[in-house]
Amino acid sequence: MNPISKKIYNKLSKEDKTELESQKIELALVDDIVNTYNKIKSDADSLFMDVRRAAQDVDKVSIDAKAVLKRIQATESDVKQIIKATNDLGIEVPSEAKVAIRQLDAYRSDMAELNQRADKASTGLFALLG
């Protein structure tokens, strides 16, 4: 029996046996609702922590996507030099370089979209936390 229940139980008159039984039932209901509240609070707090971790993970994705975009942008001058040099020489860009250039363009697009969506998701998740 919890301390509140015990205190109320001790204050009850010994003559009111039937009332005492009804008070025991009411005290059990109080214990039930307090226990239910504590369990719900624990579950809700855990869910909010999950949301906070998810928001932080999404933020990290956004930061990492920006870093990849910067690395891709850093290759742009090299790509332009390769294309200019091969044009000046009248030869085609080597096939490995063509594939790499094409893939870099695809990754640029993918990372830009990923960054944009991650920013929106992060904003939404942090909004849930208030």
Question: Could you report the per-residue pLDDT of 79-113, keeping only the tens digit for each?
Answer: 999 999 999 999 999 999 999 999 999 999 999 99
Count of domains observed in the chain: 1
Residue with more model confidence, 121 or 28: 121
pLDDT of 7 > 70? The answer is no
Instruction: Write phi, then psi, for 14 (nearest 5 degrees).
Output: -75, -20
Q: What is the DSSP letter of 14?
A: T
pLDDT at 130 over 90: no
Residue 35: pLDDT band (50, 70, 90) is very high
In this prediction, residue 24 carries a pLDDT of: 67
Spell 31-48 as b/e; 16+ CB within 10 A means b.
eeeeeeeeeeeeeeeeee
Tally DSSP H helices, then E strands, for the chain: 4, 0
Range of the domain at 68: 3-128
Give the pTM.
0.66
pLDDT of residue 21: 62
